[in-house]
Structure 1
């Protein structure tokens, strides 16, 4: 598409030309902001270069935000969780400094694993989703899944002769978040398929898991002792382990609200 170029065009014609050019060049933020930015620039006595810089930086910021939103959506998180809303005071087992260091995502860049171990209601899934979200915002490809869902998908892929393709797909993401590992026993086939995914990612891309079982109890999930030991090795070697404890702060909050309602 060729746009007409004119000298000495009216302000209305200029508005129309800019609007059309922004459509062609796919600059939605510039298109939405150029009039207001022009008014601000005139008020602040910005130069032409200053005005242009303001518009282009706004476009860049908005594109970065939209990319982050797409990566977060592609991760498949079941709900929104952020580190800002995590209640450290309710769970003194968790060191804010450790979590803040993890939020910088250096462990994802290095392909290191992360294990969040603790009872239900202690913040494991919150941290898993929040740290996964931080990784997506930092530009990493992230995928969230429940352990049982992942194993079921792998079993179906194996039956359909699509296993290599499915494992490769999970191998391409920078961070794989596996939630609720340990909530149910896996048969040998399921455990072996999960082991293949972990092996595909070993020392190349990060895996973060949340489990309600300490490592000593993983034999209830992975009934073959050797396979269990190999999986624990894959998920702990050179990685980070956060123990969230046994006291459910969700239960404590519910009880506190009930006590407040009773007192009222």
Structure 2
């Protein structure tokens, strides 16, 4: 084997070794006395270990994300989704917003595909090795209130926002008392300018004060949300109603 080919092989092994935190001295000592066949065999071993770790890490990330269902972008119908000017489905699906801690507010009536799209974003983020937290907003508030009662609030708040992408699903579907609203505000504040936040809601901004029971708190939350977020409107008819067996004439 010529030196250029051997040099490339040695470089590949060294790169894999660095990812496994094997010291440079150990790698150089091995390469100094190893044949090309031995380097290839060692590299296959390191590559297999790295691949196994990547698979297991993504499995852990999927469990920690707590998606209610696994969704993808495949076949998603954007025809009734209104994006802001200069932004579109390809931009959203690229997940480039994660690197700048930008977010979204998905607004529209129930059944328009908001949760599906938010989940697909989260699943793709996990496939890229990025941590995600998916929360039903009402359930999250109940969990935080329970944690506070048990003296475990700090840990619960850290876990709620310990991700590159945080999804708060169905905000506004269930009213929140003022104490719960303050806890939710802490989660939003923890995300502000540090991680991407996606909120799905059927409530326009002007009514957030009614949901939270405090107009000033709602104004403070909206201020943080809109600063680094894009508003995406979901129109059209309900996908669930369109596919409902009771209305299709195909039910038994």
The interval holding the TM-score normalised by the smaller chain is 0.7 to 0.9
Show the 5 A alignment for 1:63-78.
Answer: 63-78=53-68
Q: Deviations over 1:179-238 (max 9, x none)?
A: 111001111111111111211221112221111112122222112111111111222212
Given that 1:142 and 1:175 are in contact with CA atoms closer than 8 Å, whether structure 2 keeps it comes out as: yes
Q: Secondary structure at the match of 1:221?
A: helix
1:104 maps to 2:94: yes
Q: 1:195 aligns with which of 185, 190, 193?
A: 185
Q: Secondary structure at the match of 2:105?
A: strand
Show the 5 A alignment for 1:90-239.
Answer: 91=80, 93=82, 98-239=88-229
Given that 1:105 and 1:138 are in contact with CA atoms closer than 8 Å, whether structure 2 keeps it comes out as: no
User: TM-score scaled to structure 2, two decimals?
Assistant: 0.74
Q: Secondary structure at the match of 2:167?
A: strand
Given that 1:115 and 1:209 are in contact with CA atoms closer than 8 Å, whether structure 2 keeps it comes out as: yes
User: TM-score scaled to structure 1, two decimals?
Assistant: 0.70
Distance 1:119 1:246 in 2: 9
Deviation at 1:252, TM superposition (A): 2.2
Distance 2:218 2:48 in 1: 51
Distance 1:76 1:183 in 2: 20
Distance 1:202 1:58 in 2: 38
Distance 1:162 1:59 in 2: 37
RMSD over aligned CA atoms reads: 2.8
Alignment length (residue pairs): 213
1:244 maps to 2:223: no
Given that 2:103 and 2:229 are in contact with CA atoms closer than 8 Å, whether structure 1 keeps it comes out as: yes
Rg bigger for which structure? Answer: 1
Distance 1:93 1:54 in 2: 48
Distance 1:249 1:125 in 2: 12
Query: Could you say if the C-alpha distance between residues 92 and 257 of structure 1 is closer, same or farther in structure 2, counting changes exceeding 3 Å?
Result: farther
Query: Could you say if the C-alpha distance between residues 142 and 221 of structure 1 is closer, same or farther in structure 2, counting changes exceeding 3 Å?
Result: same
Query: Could you say if the C-alpha distance between residues 129 and 166 of structure 1 is closer, same or farther in structure 2, counting changes exceeding 3 Å?
Result: same
